Amino acid sequence: MSTLLEVSGVSVTFDGYKAIRNLSFQIGEAEMRAIIGPNGAGKTTFMDIVTGKTKPDEGRVIWGEKSVNLLKMNEAKIAQAGIGRKFQRPTVFEDQSVHDNLLMAVKNPRGSFPCLFYKPSFADRGRVEELASEIGLSDELYRKSGELSHGQKQWLEIGMLLAQEPRLLLVDEPAAGMTLAEREHTTDLLKEAAKTRAVVVVEHDMEFVRRLECKVTVLHEGSVLAEGSLDHVTANQEVIDVYLGR
Amino acid sequence: MSRTFLVRNPSILVFLALLAVFTIAVTLMSEAFGASLISTSFIKTLGKTLCLCLVALAMDLVWGYCGILSLGHFAFFGLGGYMIGMWLMYARTELIVAESMSNAAIPPTDQEVVDAIGTQIFGVVGSSDFPPIWAFAHSLPLQLLMVLLVPGLLALVFGWLAFRSRVTGVYLSILTQAMTLALSLYLFQNESGLRGNNGLSGLQNLPGVTASQAVVSVWFLWASALALAIGYVVCAWVVSGKFGSVVRGIRDDEARVRFLGYSVEGYKLFIFTFTAIIAAIAGALYYPQAGIINPGEIAPIASIYLAVWVAIGGRGRLYGAVIGAALVSLISTWFTGGLVPSLPLGFYTVDWVDWWLVLLGLSFVLVTLFAPKGIGGLVDIVTGRLTPNRHGADYGPDKGSLMEEEGRK
C-alpha cells in the first residue's frame, strides 16, 4: 500500500510553547487511523498543519503520488488537492438549507466565475440526494441546517466532506455529544468511507475508537508515543502512565 | 434569467412592478410630461434617491451578503460621478468656446480650441493645461468606459492587497475609511487635476441638448429607475444559486468555506470589485442630477451613512437596502431642508436642521438594538416568516455573520 500523506519531523511553537515536537506520521490509501491522546497532546494542531491553517517551524508534509509539498499551499488549494476536514464543533452553514450545504460541497470547479454561472446538473442533483440518504437527512433536505439536532449537523458535515470526494478525511471528535444510536450510525459512516479513502479520526472516547477497529496512534506532548492496535497501545506502560498517571 | 429564477425570487417581480408604478406616477405628475404636480427640483431629488438606492444595493451585497463592512463605497460612487462629470464639463465648455470663437476672423486651430477649453475649466485653480487624466474627456464612449474602469481598478487593487493579507472585520472597515479619506484629501488639492475643492460643476446641462431642465430631469429619473431595475435583477441573480451560497457562507464562517476548497479571497475580491462598479454607475447617474461634485462628497461620513441606510432597511435582503436608502435619504432631505417645523420646548427650541443627525443616530442605535432585521423585517410579518429561536447564537463564528434575529425561515 503506497503512502498518501507523509508528515516528517514537524515542529510548531506557539509563543514559546512547543505544541508539536518532531512529529512524524504517515497514512496509506484506504486506511482508517485513530489518533488518541490527552488534552494538549497536539491532535488539533496536527490537523491544522495538514490542512494549511498553521504553518510549522520545521519539517515536511508530503502528499500523494507526485509528492507535493503541502506547506507551500493555502487552505483552499489543499482542500482541492483532496484533503477534507471535519471540525470538533459541527460547522455547517446554518443559515442555509441542507441541500445548499451539500451542493456547495459537491466536487465541482471552485473558482468564482464557474460558480457564478453554475447550474446544478442532473448528476449533481442525484449526488446530493444520494448523500442525503446516506447520512439519513433525506427528509430534511430543504430545512435550514441551523434547525437540525446536534447529531444531524455532525452527519451533515460528514456528508459535505464525502461530497468533496477527498482522498484523505480528517475527522475531529465526531462522536462528541452524540447519543448511543447516533454514535453507531457515525461509526458506520466512517467505516464505509475508509473503504475507498484514508480516514484519520481524532477521538477521546476509547469505546468509540474500539468500535472503529483500526490502527491507533497515541500522541503525547506533541509527538508520537505509541502506534499499533488498540489493545497493543493500551498495554503499553508509557501510555498507561500518560492517561492514568496524571 | 430562467423562469425558475423569478419563481424562486418573487420579491423581484414585486419590486419591479412597484418601481414601474412609481416611475410612471412621477412622470404623470411632472411639469414636462404631466399635471405639473411635482416641481422639477423634487423630481431631481427622486431621481437622485433612486441612485442612492442602487448604491445601497451594492452595499447590501458587500456587507449584508458577504459580511465585508466596507466603509468606503462612496469613494467609488464619487469617482463614477467625477468620470462622467469630466466629459460633461469638457463637452459643454467645448460648445461655449466654439460659439465664442465662431465670430473670429480666422478660424481657430484645434489646439487653440483645446487651450481655450482648458482656460475655461481650469481658470479657477490658476491653470490652463489639461492634466493627463483628462486625456479621454473629449470622448463620451471612452469616458463612460472610465466610469467602470477607474473605480473598478481601484477596488481591484485595494481589495487584492487587503484580502490577500486577510484583513477582516473592523480593521478592513478602518482601511476602507482611510481609502475614501485619502482620496477625498487628494482631490481637494488643486494639483489633483480635478479642480480641487471647486469640484466639477454645471453637470446638469447636457451638452447639445436644448430641452429644458424639466424634461431632462425626467429623462434622468427614467435612466436611474432603469439602472436600479437592472441592478436589482443582476444582484438578485448573483446572490441566488451556488455563488450566493458561497458568499453567504463566507459571511457566516469564512474558515469553513476555505476548507471546502473555495478561495475566499477570490470571492471577496469579486464581490468588492463588482459592487464598486455598481456604486460607480450609481454615481455617474447621480451627479448629473445634482449638478455639482466636489471632494466633500466622498468624505468618510458619506460611506458611513450608506451603512446606516442598509442597517435601517435591513441587511441581507435586497429590498431592505432599497427601502432603507429611499426612506432615510428622503426624510433626511425633508429635515435638513428646513421644512420641518421647529419644536419649541420653552427653554430651548429644537431646530431640526441641527438635530436631525442626532435623530438619525438614535434611530440607528434603536434599530440595531431592537429590530436588527430593520424595516425590511416588517415584510416577514406579512409573509409569515418565523424567526428561529437559537438562544442568542449567531449563524457563524465570524464578526460579520448573520445574527440570530436576522435569520428567517
Full domain range(s) for residue B41 = 14-296
Mean pLDDT of A112-119: 87
Residue B391 confidence (pLDDT) above 70:
no
Q: What CATH code is carried by the domain that includes residue A155?
A: 3.40.50.300
How far is it, in rounded angstroms, from Cα B47 to Cα B40?
Answer: 10
| CB atoms closer than 10 angstroms to residue B168 | 19
In a domain, B162, yes or no: yes
Structural domain total, chain B? 1
Q: Closest approach of chain A CAs to the CA of B3, in angstroms?
A: 14
Residue B380 confidence (pLDDT) above 70:
yes
How far is it, in rounded angstroms, from Cα B325 to Cα A67?
Answer: 55
Q: Closest approach of chain B CAs to the CA of A191, in angstroms?
A: 22
Q: Amino acid letter at B82? A: Y
Residues 6+ apart with CB under 8 A from B145: B136
Residue B272 confidence (pLDDT) above 90:
yes
Mean pLDDT of B16-43: 92
The answer to whether the Cβ–Cβ distance between B246 and A79 falls below 8 Å is no
Phi-psi region of A29 (alpha: psi -120 to 50; beta: other; left: phi over 0): beta
Residue A1 confidence (pLDDT) above 70:
no
Q: Residue B384 is placed in which grid cell? A: 409569515
The answer to whether the Cβ–Cβ distance between A95 and B264 falls below 8 Å is no
- Name which of B269, B276, B129 is nearest B190 in CA terms: B129
A111 neighbourhood in chain B, CB within 8 Å: 263, 266
Q: Which of A167-181, A199-213, B178-192 has the highest mean pLDDT?
A: B178-192
A144 touches chain B (CB under 8 A): yes
Query: Torsion angle, CA of B90/B92/B98/B99, rounded to 10 degrees?
Result: -160
Q: Which residue of A has its CA nearest to B402?
A: A95
B390 neighbourhood in chain A, CB within 8 Å: 146
Residues 6+ apart with CB under 8 A from B284: B80, B81, B83, B84, B144, B147
Among A51, A93, A110, whose Cβ lies nearest the Cβ of B252?
A: A93
How far is it, in rounded angstroms, from Cα A188 to Cα A32?
Answer: 12
The answer to whether the Cβ–Cβ distance between A104 and B260 falls below 8 Å is yes
How far is it, in rounded angstroms, from Cα A114 to Cα A66?
Answer: 27
Mean pLDDT of B140-162: 96
A49-73 pLDDT, tens digit each: 999 988 999 899 999 888 889 888 9
Q: Which residue of A has its CA nearest to B246?
A: A104
How far is it, in rounded angstroms, from Cα A39 to Cα A46?
Answer: 13
SS3 per residue for B36-83: CCCCHHHHHHHHHHHHHHHHHHHHHHHHHHCCCCCCCHHHHHHHHHHH
Residue B383 confidence (pLDDT) above 80:
no
The answer to whether the Cβ–Cβ distance between B407 and A164 falls below 8 Å is no
Q: Residue A141 is placed in which grid cell? A: 433536505
A80 neighbourhood in chain B, CB within 8 Å: 261
Structural domain total, chain A? 1
B402 neighbourhood in chain A, CB within 8 Å: 95
Greatest distance between any 2 Cα atoms in chain A: 59
- Name which of B376, B272, B363 is nearest B316 in CA terms: B376
Mean pLDDT of B271-291: 96
Q: Which residue of A has its CA nearest to B5?
A: A119
Q: Which of A85, A96, A100, A116 to mutate to test the interface with B (most CBs of B within 10 A)?
A: A116
- Name which of B396, B69, B397, B11 is nearest A96 in CA terms: B396
The answer to whether the Cβ–Cβ distance between B260 and A147 falls below 8 Å is no
The answer to whether the Cβ–Cβ distance between B245 and A160 falls below 8 Å is no
Q: Which of A95, A97, A108 to mutate to test the interface with B (most CBs of B within 10 A)?
A: A95
How far is it, in rounded angstroms, from Cα B43 to Cα B48?
Answer: 8
Mean pLDDT of B287-316: 93
Q: Are β-strands A32-36 and A83-86 bridged in parallel, bridged antiparallel, or unpaired?
A: unpaired
Indicate the average pLDDT of chain A: 87
Q: Where does the pLDDT of residue B1 fall: very low under 50, low under 70, confident under 90, or very high at 90 and above?
A: very low
The answer to whether the Cβ–Cβ distance between A79 and B261 falls below 8 Å is yes
Residue A19 confidence (pLDDT) above 90:
no
Please tell me the predicted confidence (pLDDT) of residue B387: 56
Q: Are β-strands A3-14 and A83-86 bridged in parallel, bridged antiparallel, or unpaired?
A: unpaired
In a domain, B108, yes or no: yes
Please tell me the predicted confidence (pLDDT) of residue B128: 83
Element housing B350 (H / E): strand B349-350
In a domain, B402, yes or no: no
The answer to whether the Cβ–Cβ distance between B259 and A51 falls below 8 Å is yes
Residue B371 confidence (pLDDT) above 90:
no
Which ipTM was obtained for this model? 0.87
Among B255, B260, B264, whose Cβ lies nearest the Cβ of A105?
A: B260
Q: Closest approach of chain A CAs to the CA of B75, in angstroms?
A: 25
The answer to whether the Cβ–Cβ distance between B255 and A146 falls below 8 Å is no
Residue B174 confidence (pLDDT) above 50:
yes
Mean pLDDT of B290-295: 94
Indicate the average pLDDT of chain B: 89
How far is it, in rounded angstroms, from Cα B116 to Cα B223?
Answer: 33
Q: Which residue of B has its CA nearest to A95?
A: B395
Structure letter (DSSP) for residue B211: S
Q: Where does the pLDDT of residue B409 fall: very low under 50, low under 70, confident under 90, or very high at 90 and above?
A: very low
Q: What percentage of residues in chain A have a pLDDT greater than 70? A: 98
How far is it, in rounded angstroms, from Cα B353 to Cα B334?
Answer: 9
Full domain range(s) for residue A114 = 3-244
Least confident of B201-210, B289-298, B375-384: B375-384
Q: Residue A140 is placed in which grid cell? A: 430534511
A118 touches chain B (CB under 8 A): yes
Q: Which residue of B has its CA nearest to A160?
A: B260
pTM confidence score: 0.90
The answer to whether the Cβ–Cβ distance between A110 and B255 falls below 8 Å is no
C-beta of residue B64 within 8 angstroms of C-beta of residue B270: no
A142 neighbourhood in chain B, CB within 8 Å: none
Q: Which of A80, A98, A102, A104 to mutate to test the interface with B (most CBs of B within 10 A)?
A: A104
Q: Closest approach of chain B CAs to the CA of A96, in angstroms?
A: 8
The full DSSP string for chain A is: --EEEEEEEEEEEETTEEEEEEEEEEEETT-EEEEE--TTSSHHHHHHHHTTSS--SEEEEEETTTTEEGGGS-HHHHHHHTEEEE-SS----TTSBHHHHHHHHSSS--SHHHHHT----HHHHHHHHHHHHHTT-GGGTTSBGGGS-HHHHHHHHHHHHHHT--SEEEEE-TTTT--HHHHHHHHHHHHHHHTTSEEEEE-S-HHHHHHH--EEEEEETTEEEEEE-HHHHHH-HHHHHHHH--
Q: Residue B208 is placed in which grid cell? A: 447639445
The answer to whether the Cβ–Cβ distance between B264 and A76 falls below 8 Å is yes
The answer to whether the Cβ–Cβ distance between B245 and A110 falls below 8 Å is no
- Name which of A74, A137, A78, A141 is nearest B265 in CA terms: A74
Residue B8 confidence (pLDDT) above 80:
no
The answer to whether the Cβ–Cβ distance between B395 and A95 falls below 8 Å is yes
Q: Give, in order, the Cα–Cα distances in Å from B80 to each of A237, A243, B191, B279.
A: 73, 66, 20, 8
Among B262, B388, B395, whose Cβ lies nearest the Cβ of A110?
A: B262
